Structure 1
Amino acid sequence: MARAKRSKTYRLGRICDRRSRDVPPHAEVAEVEVDNPLGLDPGEKIVALRSTRNDPLGRLHAHHQIDEAQYRGGRAFQSDWEKAERGPQAVDPSREYVDGTLGREPVTESQRQAVLRLNRIDRELGTDGTALVHDVLVLGLTMEQVGERRAVRSQRWNDYFSKRLQECLDRLAQIYGFASDGGAGAPSPPSR
């Protein structure tokens, strides 16, 4: 008895392709390589789409305006800010007391360490740099919006804020250990 031939070849690459093809018309997305949550091998990567609409740091990274160390330093700052923000809160005497409510959560060691790092960053960046980093990384403002908050609206100021933000992100990368401070690893000037 003759064997029946298959008329269609199966391509496993198309079957396992989980990328979305339907993107909303005004979506701002960028491709990013992430760990495969369904992968069998450790360290296996897949390409995913990341929304950059309300993420200025992600947008700068997607457009190659900042490098990986600056990006990771900015994300570490955002993480520390979120940890520290969740800390102790004042008691609201206007709220009615309800039996069975738990007391305020104590400050954890990770929150305390985050506050210490943020205090160091405040000293390192200065008042202006800290305010700029907070406006962009915490509030999610663009350079135009940062200029409007400071009552300066020109392209020259936008360029200044962009350059200053990159300097602050460089410093954050050094503080968090994602980049060296230019000591031993920095290239030496050419000799004559």
Structure 2
Amino acid sequence: MGRVRRNSSYKLAKIYDRRSRELPFNGEVAEIEVDDPMALDSGDRIVALRSIRSDPLGRLHSHHQIDEVQYRGGRAFQSDWERAERGPQAVDPTREYVDGARTREPVTESQRQAVLRLNRIERELGTDGAALVHDVLVLGLTMDQIGQRRAARTQRWNDFFARRFRECLDRLALIYGFATEATGRRSEPHR
């Protein structure tokens, strides 16, 4: 009986190829290097795709218009904003119905700390800087849209808003501890 020949083009690496081959019709993505969640050794990294379609901070970071420290400061602000926000909430069907009256959820300590940090940020950035950061990081507006909202539609104003936004991101990095002011150098936090 003859020996079974194996296909020499068979590659074990293709089994573990986790890359997506198809993107959504209107998807905008950028490559980012992240820790490999399935790695056997700690510290292994893989290249992943992140959506930047409705993420102005991610878009600025992927196009190298802001650095890693500014990016982390912006993400920390977004995290605090989401934690502190107490807007409309969905109805919880597991809770007992009592004449349509809902008791308010108690304010947690993390929400209180987030509000305190946001108040400090507003004091340090000023009214205009805080409004600019809110427009970009919470509402997701571009510099052109911010200029339209403020009736300043020229390229010079767009450049001013972009420069001012980067200054605000530098200040956020200082507030959240991603940078130090004394030396003027940025520091990377330990992972």
TM over 0.5: yes
What is aligned with 1:106? 106
RMSD of equivalent CA atoms: 2.5
* 2:24 is aligned with 1:24: yes
What is aligned with 1:50? 50
What is aligned with 2:153? 153
Q: 1:185 to 1:122 in 2, by over 3 A?
A: closer
Deviations 1:56-77 (A, max 9, x none): 0000001000000000100000
What is aligned with 1:128? 128
The one-letter code sitting in structure 2 at the alignment partner of 1:141 is: L
Deviations 1:100-128 (A, max 9, x none): 96521111110111011001100110011
How far the C-alpha of 1:5 sits from its partner, in A, is 4.4
Residue ranges of structure 1 left out of the alignment (5+ in a row): 90-96, 187-192
What is aligned with 1:184? 183
The one-letter code sitting in structure 2 at the alignment partner of 1:127 is: T
Tell me the distance in 2 between the aligned counterparts of 1:22 and 1:58.
21
Tell me the distance in 1 between the aligned counterparts of 2:163 and 2:76.
20
Deviations 1:122-156 (A, max 9, x none): 01100110000000000000001000110110100
Secondary structure class of the residue paired with 1:119: helix
Tell me the distance in 2 between the aligned counterparts of 1:178 and 1:168.
14
Please tell me whether the aligned partners of residues 129 and 168 of structure 1 are also in contact (alpha carbons under 8 angstroms). yes
What is aligned with 1:11? 11
Number of aligned positions between the proteins = 179
The one-letter code sitting in structure 1 at the alignment partner of 2:110 is: S
Q: 1:86 to 1:38 in 2, by over 3 A?
A: farther
Tell me the distance in 2 between the aligned counterparts of 1:103 and 1:155.
50
Secondary structure class of the residue paired with 1:151: coil
What is aligned with 2:137? 137
Residue ranges of structure 2 left out of the alignment (5+ in a row): 90-96, 186-191
How far the C-alpha of 1:36 sits from its partner, in A, is 2.5
Between 13-22 and 129-138, the greater mean CA deviation after superposition: 13-22
Deviations 1:9-41 (A, max 9, x none): 432332211111111343211011223333333
TM-score normalised to structure 1 length: 0.83
Secondary structure class of the residue paired with 1:53: coil
Q: 1:32 to 1:100 in 2, by over 3 A?
A: same
Secondary structure class of the residue paired with 2:104: coil
The one-letter code sitting in structure 2 at the alignment partner of 1:28 is: E
| 4+ residue segments displaced more than 6 Å | none
TM-score normalised to structure 2 length: 0.84
Between 125-134 and 42-51, the greater mean CA deviation after superposition: 42-51
